[in-house]
Amino acid sequence: MINARFVRFYKALLVVFIIPALFLPAALPARAQGGTVEVRTYGIDYAAFPNVCLRLAAVTANGTQPADLSAEAFQVYENGEARPATSVTKDYAGIQVAIVLDASGSFNKPSVVDKTNRRFDDAIQALDELVLAKGQWLQQDRLLDQMLLIAPTGPDTFKIALPDGKWTTEPVSMHNNAYVLDPVNSDTPLYKMLVEAMVRMKDLPDYQQRAKFLLVLSDGVDRTSAQDVTDVINRANSLGVKILSVKIGPEAKGDSLKRMAEETSAEGRPEWAYTNYAGPASLAPLYSAIKAQAEQYLVCYRSKINQAGPQNIEVGVRIGGQESKSRSLTVAIAPKPPAVRITVPGEGTVYDRVASSYDQDPATIEPREQPVTVEVSWPDNFSRGIQRVIYEVDGAAVANLTPEEAFTWDFSRLPAGIHSLRAVVRDELGLEGRSDPIQTTIAITIPPAPTPAPTPTPRPPTFWEQVRRLPGEQPVLLVVLLVALIAAALALYALIRLLRNPTAREAMTTTVVGMVRDATEVFRPKRTGGKESAGAALVPIVDDAGSLGDPIPIRAQSVSIGRDPARAQIVFSDKSVSRLHSRIVEEADNDFVIHDEGSSSGTYVNEERVEFQPKKLKAGDLIEFGRVKVRFQLQGSAPPLPTETNVDDVTEPFVGRR
């Protein structure tokens, strides 16, 4: 038979070395990849996608974090692509610590620090140092730290030594409930208490979003098997719990406490996670790690994910020229293209373009353009930036604009018929959303050209017919002929006299010259057709005080007024004046009316709008073309007086009438 002691030896060897070797690689928390620190991620928030924020800590070999790191020290890797951090902040997030007060019978013995106290008093002092030392380790004012206290009640029983058996954020409650405990006069169920601490870690819904610690205050006597210790270590590593061990008393070596501290340390260095209690100063390495890991970095960046499915995210921290990376986080984000809709113009809009004459350039026929309004929404509920807005007419791009730029559709050169308008929006992720095409109709009406009447070929008038017409048709020519005949007769008479008498010849010459001069000075030709001067004028009002400018004469029977010199005889350059705004017609002598030519701002006479029927004008009437104001003046009437100054007129800016 095989020796029983030999069998027990190999069983122990199997439990202590072989089984832990199988579980250890999977059990250890993710280490820093190729770096000097361990980058621990506690959560990711993509509710404001594409702005994504991660909570993390950069833990050094002694369990603390480096001094404040800037944004340049962080790099986010999104499916392997580097993304710079846009903001980095550091804040106190709190920790989650379960304290196992393993108060066995040895806790009744005298303290090795102060012989007047019990070792149980040392354990209470170690607990108080963590939870009550104001401003030293935990923050008592913010109450963000979650604490749990577990203590034995017998060799196989224990209890949650807090009201209702729940986690607390009150440090005083931890002290009070620990202070009233008594050590048990037997062994303790340490393994059960450690497992219960692991189970209770999940009681808090946000347990994954903070650093977790299991603080064991024990005499170090190994009451658990190696297999039980391995189970505790595996549970701790799977939850990301760091075990900190404080040995109270000198009796035992505390191998199990050391092993738990060592194998739940990502760095494999237990010296800072295990200590023999020798007063509050001996706890500083442990509690410094707790304090440091209670603070977290919030690292935010701008994501470029534009495809649905699992996304792998890592965070790199560069310290001293060497980068350490976190383990890869897998999140599911499903961005969708933006939803685009054209709100103006509406579906089925018809643009009636009517020319004012048969020879008008179709490009100048109103209306010629339409401002376009686009509405963008986000089906995935992730609002984000827009890079470009592209407008297409009949399938061809006509504008590629930024979202800040307004688009006005110019259809002045499109032929009559049905045309489609579409908007394409490209967001910051490169996703494009396309609106449904809007169908619009352009109708162009041009009046027919006038038919010229046939002109008969005239018969040339005879000489005597031309002579008879002279008095009625060309009176000036008749006067000229008569003067010429008289001059010729006088010249003949003078010639005869000159031939006979030199003295007379000289006198006749003087007489003829004087007669010719007299006839020439008396002659005044009259204008044929039209008036001698303008019968009316427009006098501009140049300022809010009613000051008047130089009159603008109306020199034709019909005068057009507008902003376009090619279409108007009287031109005002103000943008509120339409290209062809109004027309003034003289229907009879000094009888003038004004027409509105479909202007945008309207034409007003004495503050009354000119509608479809023309309005008769009187001397002194106030006429408004948009912001331009004038007074109507008739020939022979007194010039219009300056308008009365009014506070409202002076201070109120022009607002177009509707």
Q: What is the pLDDT of residues 557-589, one digit of tens each?
A: 999 999 999 999 999 999 999 999 999 999 988
Decide if pLDDT at 21 tops 70: no
**Domain residue ranges of the chain, discontinuous segments joined by +:** 34-334, 339-445, 536-634
Cα radius of gyration (the chain) = 52
- Rounded to an integer, what distance in angstroms lies between the CA atom of residue 191 and that of residue 230? 11
pLDDT at 470: 66
Helices (H) and strands (E) in the chain — how many of each? 12, 34
Asked if the 536-634 domain carries CATH number 3.30.565.10, the reply is no
Average pLDDT over residues 252-261: 85
- Per-residue pLDDT, averaged over 303-315, amounts to 93
178-191 pLDDT, tens digit per residue, is 999 999 998 899 99
Most confident of 13-22, 208-217, 497-506: 208-217
Distance from C-alpha of 332 to C-alpha of 205, rounded to nearest angstrom: 20
Question: Is 348 a residue whose pLDDT tops 50?
Answer: yes
Count of CB atoms situated within 10 Å of the CB of 358: 10
Output the pLDDT for position 520: 37
Please check the confidence at residue 530 and state whether its pLDDT lies above 90. Answer: no
* Alpha-carbon distances, residue 646 vs 539, 542, 546, 624 (angstroms): 20, 15, 10, 17
Q: Above 80 in pLDDT, residue 459? A: no
- What pTM did the predictor assign? 0.58
What's the whole-number average pLDDT of the chain?
84
What would the mean pLDDT of 507-511 be, rounded to a whole number? Answer: 55
Pair 621, 630: CB distance under 8 Å: no
User: For residues 266 and 14, which has the higher predicted lDDT (pLDDT)?
Assistant: 266
Please tell me the predicted confidence (pLDDT) of residue 506.
52
Measured distance CA(652)–CA(402) in Å, rounded: 35
- Cα 230 to Cα 236: distance, rounded to the nearest angstrom: 10
pLDDT of residue 32: 41
Would you say residue 267 has pLDDT above 70? no
Please give the share of the chain, as a percent, with pLDDT higher than 90. 62
DSSP state of 29: P
Domain 339-445: what homologous superfamily?
Immunoglobulins (2.60.40.10)
Most confident of 56-65, 265-274, 425-434: 425-434
- pLDDT tens digits, residue range 460-506? 877 777 767 767 677 777 777 788 889 888 878 767 766 666 555 45
Within 10 A of 232 (CB to CB), how many other CB atoms are there? Answer: 26
Q: Which residues pair with 634 in a beta bridge?
A: 536
- Length of the chain, please? 658
Confidence of residue 640 (pLDDT cuts 50, 70, 90): low
Q: What is the mean pLDDT of residues 288-295?
A: 90
CA distance linking residue 217 with residue 229, whole number of Å: 16
Report residue 282 as tokens.
């001996």
| Banded pLDDT at 641 (limits 50, 70, 90) | low
pLDDT value of residue 270: 56
CATH number for the domain formed by residue range(s) 34-334: 3.40.50.410
Rounded average pLDDT over 350-368: 94
Would you put residue 429 in left (φ > 0), alpha (ψ -120 to 50) or beta? alpha
Distances (CA, A) of 549 to 578, 618, 629, 646: 22, 19, 11, 19
Q: Is the pLDDT at 316 greater than 50, yes or no?
A: yes
Q: Residue 253's pLDDT is what?
A: 78
Task: Please answer whether residues 201 and 96 qualify as being in contact, where contact means their C-beta atoms are separated by less than 8 angstroms.
Answer: yes
The rounded percent of the chain whose pLDDT value lies above 70 is 83
The confidence band for 1, taking pLDDT boundaries of 50, 70 and 90, is very low
pLDDT exceeds 90 at position 134: no
Taking Cα atoms as reference points, which of 174, 137, 131 lies closest to residue 293? 137
The confidence score (pLDDT) of residue 211 equals 92
- The reported pLDDT for the residue numbered 534 is 60
